[in-house]
Amino acid sequence: MFRWLLIDGYNLMHADPDFRDRRGGTFESRRTQFVSHVAKLAPLTAHRATLVFDGRAAAQEPAVRETRGPMDILYSSGSRSADGEIERLVHQDPRPEGIVVVTDDLAEQDSVRAAGAHVLGCAAWLEECRQRERDAVRRCRRRKPFRSPRLGDLFPE
């Protein structure tokens, strides 16, 4: 389990086969579905997760942070990209070695690695989540079903 997962939102959204080719609905509705999808996956790999999107168009507008369940969502300010926000968060953290950044952007990968964070490509992180889901299902199937105690259980033979 990682301490903190920082996810490049649009980068992962365009790399995820479940969302890459999705048509219909507004972009906002697709992004909302994607956020819900990632909110279910993130706790499989990290104690804390932040999904970072490119945000405001106007340079003077500040970054916006929301919380949805176990995950924070950060929309960058107009003066900084999602990549810039992720790099800022990594560089400001006193323990960057506990951070994993999910992105396919090579320049961003180099920058956060240089600061001490770890990197996973989008496909690798999605596969890691799917593997953890499969492992959880296997563990559940191996458990014996709960059985209420019976009177005979109280008396030794």
18-40 confidence digits (pLDDT tens): 887 767 778 888 888 899 889 99
The reply to whether 151 falls in a domain is: no
Q: How far is the C-alpha of 82 from the C-alpha of 88, rounded, in Å?
A: 10
The reply to whether 114 falls in a domain is: yes
Q: How far is the C-alpha of 48 from the C-alpha of 1, rounded, in Å?
A: 10
Torsion over CA: 14, 38, 118, 52 (sign)? positive
pLDDT digits (tens, 9 = 90+) for 97-152: 999 999 999 999 999 999 999 999 999 999 999 998 888 888 777 766 667 767 66
User: By residue range, what is the domain housing residue 75?
Assistant: 2-143
The reply to whether 149 falls in a domain is: no
Structural domain count of the chain: 1
User: H-helix or E-strand containing 30?
Assistant: helix 27-41
Q: How far is the C-alpha of 127 from the C-alpha of 110, rounded, in Å?
A: 22
The reply to whether 55 falls in a domain is: yes
pLDDT digits (tens, 9 = 90+) for 69-99: 779 999 887 778 899 999 999 999 999 999 9
> Is a pLDDT exceeding 60 seen at residue 62?
no
The reply to whether 122 falls in a domain is: yes
CATH code (residue 114): 3.40.50
Q: Which two tokens stand for residue 113?
A: 């690695």
The reply to whether 9 falls in a domain is: yes
Which amino acid appears at position 58 of this protein?
A
The reply to whether 157 falls in a domain is: no
Would you say 53 and 73 are in contact if contact means Cβ atoms under 8 Å apart? yes
The reply to whether 156 falls in a domain is: no
Q: How far is the C-alpha of 13 from the C-alpha of 32, rounded, in Å?
A: 11
Q: How far is the C-alpha of 99 from the C-alpha of 89, rounded, in Å?
A: 10
What is the SS3 assignment for 78? Answer: coil
